[in-house]
């Protein structure tokens, strides 16, 4: 599937959006840094890279799934690991929100990373930081760019299913709705178009695609008739279980063909197609990224750094969960987490030239 390990292209930028600056100005907040775990958990990068590499090799779709987890976490109350919380008898988390239920995946990969880290450096690395580095490494594994990840986020004590339903962008959004949604999180138009390029990997179910096929959503930009025929056969109704690649040319490779497909009318999602037609000067960015993959990679990496800085919990805020699926029990007696002996310990570390 073209999943050979690519050289890591590091983008040395650390922009911080307004929301993150607001958090860091709090008396109990602290700045995110590249070397936050250099002393307390020096094997962090190798551990995460090893688990992600194995997971993507086993299932190439996992690269897109891990990237999507980071996006769906940061767009709801900031990058705080809230998307990872399981439902309990007294709590309903973001996993049950409409945009997430039945479609978010990759939680077991985060679990494996966390269990290994709890063995190596107990109660040290937050689940929110794991999401940030796993998203980067998954993009690299798919052939995309790398970027320097900053650390120091802490984990939330709760989640917000209502906000997840409200703030996560819908596949049925118009281009202008998508722009407004991203602007509310601190992104400009070029960054929004670059982040949409994350759809160069991954698949969608028929649920968000069927409305475009059968007339419940009207597209101003004409879909390629041959591609429409393909979608009609693949998704005879919204409940069909077919998985449609968001990039029909190279669905497992992180490249610029997503933009080429959009320009040819071969976008699976209404929100993607409408970027080309109704989002102001977005078309110019789509055309540029289609021709200049290096530019797309550079802008995507920078935008991911901005996203990972959305309202992080830092300092004494939140906690460091020992299990990413649940908040810590009160009065934890020991720093050592209960982990499965079968995970992590026997995996060889993948050495990297740079974090």
Question: Is residue 111 in some structural domain?
Answer: yes
Average confidence (pLDDT) over 300-305:
97
Q: In a 3-state reduction of DSSP, which class is residue 33?
A: strand
Residues 6+ apart with CB under 8 A from 327: 85, 155, 157, 158, 319, 321
Percent of the chain with pLDDT over 90: 69
Q: In a 3-state reduction of DSSP, which class is residue 91?
A: strand
Question: Is residue 102 in some structural domain?
Answer: yes
Own/partner long-range contacts of 214-222 (Cβ < 8 Å, ≥24 apart): 217/172, 217/270, 219/270, 219/273, 219/274, 219/277, 220/274, 220/277, 220/278, 221/265, 221/273, 221/274, 221/276, 221/277, 221/278, 222/265
Domain's final residue, options 283, 303, 323: 303
Question: Is residue 313 in some structural domain?
Answer: no
351 pLDDT band, cuts 50/70/90, is very low
Do residues 85 and 30 make contact, with C-beta atoms less than 8 angstroms apart?
no
139 φ, ψ (degrees, to nearest 5): -65, -45
Of residues 145, 140, 121, 143, the one with CA closest to residue 37: 121
pLDDT of residue 212: 79
pLDDT tens by residue, 312-349: 999 999 999 999 999 999 865 434 333 333 333 334 34
172 pLDDT band, cuts 50/70/90, is confident
**Do both 149 and 193 map to the same domain?**
no
Question: Is residue 94 in some structural domain?
Answer: yes
20 φ, ψ (degrees, to nearest 5): -65, -40
pLDDT tens by residue, 119-136: 999 999 999 999 999 999
pLDDT of residue 219: 55
Q: Say how far apart CA 294 and CA 291 lie, in whole Å.
A: 9
**Do both 164 and 179 map to the same domain?**
no
Q: Say how far apart CA 7 and CA 132 lie, in whole Å.
A: 19
Domain's final residue, options 279, 303, 327: 303
218 pLDDT band, cuts 50/70/90, is low
Q: Please classify residue 349 by burial: count the beta carbons closer than 10 Å to its beta carbon, then call 0-12 exposed, 13-18 middle and 19+ buried.
A: exposed
Of residues 281, 120, 64, the one with CA closest to residue 193: 281
Do residues 314 and 151 make contact, with C-beta atoms less than 8 angstroms apart?
no
**Do both 107 and 193 map to the same domain?**
no
Name the domain count of the chain: 2
Average confidence (pLDDT) over 59-87:
97
**Do both 228 and 89 map to the same domain?**
no
Residues designated catalytic: 72
Q: Which two tokens stand for residue 324?
A: 């990413």
Judged against a pLDDT cut of 80, whether residue 8 lies above it is answered with: no
Alpha helix stretches (DSSP H) within 25-126: 44-58, 62-74, 107-120
pLDDT of residue 222: 66
Alpha helix stretches (DSSP H) within 256-333: 257-263, 270-278, 282-291, 293-307
- 17-31, 133-147, 304-318: segment of lowest average pLDDT: 17-31
**Do both 145 and 217 map to the same domain?**
no
Q: Say how far apart CA 272 and CA 276 lie, in whole Å.
A: 7
Question: Is residue 339 in some structural domain?
Answer: no
What's the CATH number where 65 sits? 1.10.520.10
Residues 6+ apart with CB under 8 A from 181: 167, 169, 173
Question: Is residue 314 in some structural domain?
Answer: no
Angle between helices 62-74 and 107-120 (to 10 degrees): 80
**Do both 107 and 183 map to the same domain?**
no
Of residues 176, 179, 174, 200, the one with CA closest to residue 190: 179
Domain's final residue, options 287, 303, 319: 303
DSSP state of 292: -
* Structural domain of 208: 175-303
Of residues 140, 123, 188, 148, the one with CA closest to residue 335: 123
Question: Is residue 14 in some structural domain?
Answer: no
Question: Is residue 322 in some structural domain?
Answer: no
**Do both 155 and 246 map to the same domain?**
no
Do residues 131 and 70 make contact, with C-beta atoms less than 8 angstroms apart?
yes
What's the CATH number where 230 sits? 1.10.420.10
């Amino acid at each position: 599937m073209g999943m050979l390990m690519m050289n890591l292209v590091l983008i040395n930028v650390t922009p911080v959006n307004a929301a993150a600056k607001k958090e860091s100005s709090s008396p109990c907040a602290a700045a995110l840094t590249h070397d936050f775990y250099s002393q307390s958990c020096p094997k962090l990068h190798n551990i995460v890279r090893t688990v992600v590499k194995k997971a993507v090799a086993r299932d190439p779709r996992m690269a897109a799934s891990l990237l999507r987890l980071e996006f769906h976490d940061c767009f709801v109350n900031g990058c705080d690991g809230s998307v990872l919380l399981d439902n309990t008898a007294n709590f309903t988390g973001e996993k049950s929100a409409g945009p997430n239920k039945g479609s978010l995946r990759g939680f077991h990969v985060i679990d494996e990373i966390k269990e290994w880290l709890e063995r190596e450096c107990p109660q040290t690395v937050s689940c929110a930081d794991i999401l940030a580095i796993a998203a980067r490494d998954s993009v690299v594994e798919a052939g995309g760019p790398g970027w320097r990840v900053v650390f120091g986020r802490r984990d939330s004590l709760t989640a917000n299913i209502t906000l997840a339903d409200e703030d996560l962008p819908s596949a049925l959004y118009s281009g202008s709705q998508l722009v407004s949604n991203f602007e509310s999180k601190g992104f400009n138009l070029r960054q929004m178009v670059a982040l949409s390029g994350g759809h160069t990997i991954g698949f969608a179910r028929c649920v968000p695609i069927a409305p475009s096929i059968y007339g419940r959503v009207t597209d101003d930009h004409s879909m390629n008739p041959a591609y429409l025929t393909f979608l009609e056969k693949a998704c005879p109704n919204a409940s069909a279980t077919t998985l449609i690649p968001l990039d029909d040319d190279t669905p497992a490779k992180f490249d610029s063909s997503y933009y080429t497909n959009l320009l040819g009318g071969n976008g699976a999602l209404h929100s993607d197609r409408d970027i080309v037609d109704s989002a102001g000067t977005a078309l110019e960015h789509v055309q540029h990224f289609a021709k200049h993959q290096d530019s797309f990679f550079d802008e995507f990496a920078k935008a991911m750094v901005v996203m990972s800085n959305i309202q992080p919990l830092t300092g004494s805020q939140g906690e460091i969960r020992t299990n990413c699926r649940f908040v810590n029990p009160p009065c934890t007696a020991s720093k050592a987490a209960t982990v499965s002996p079968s995970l992590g310990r026997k995996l060889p570390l993948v050495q990297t030239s740079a974090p």
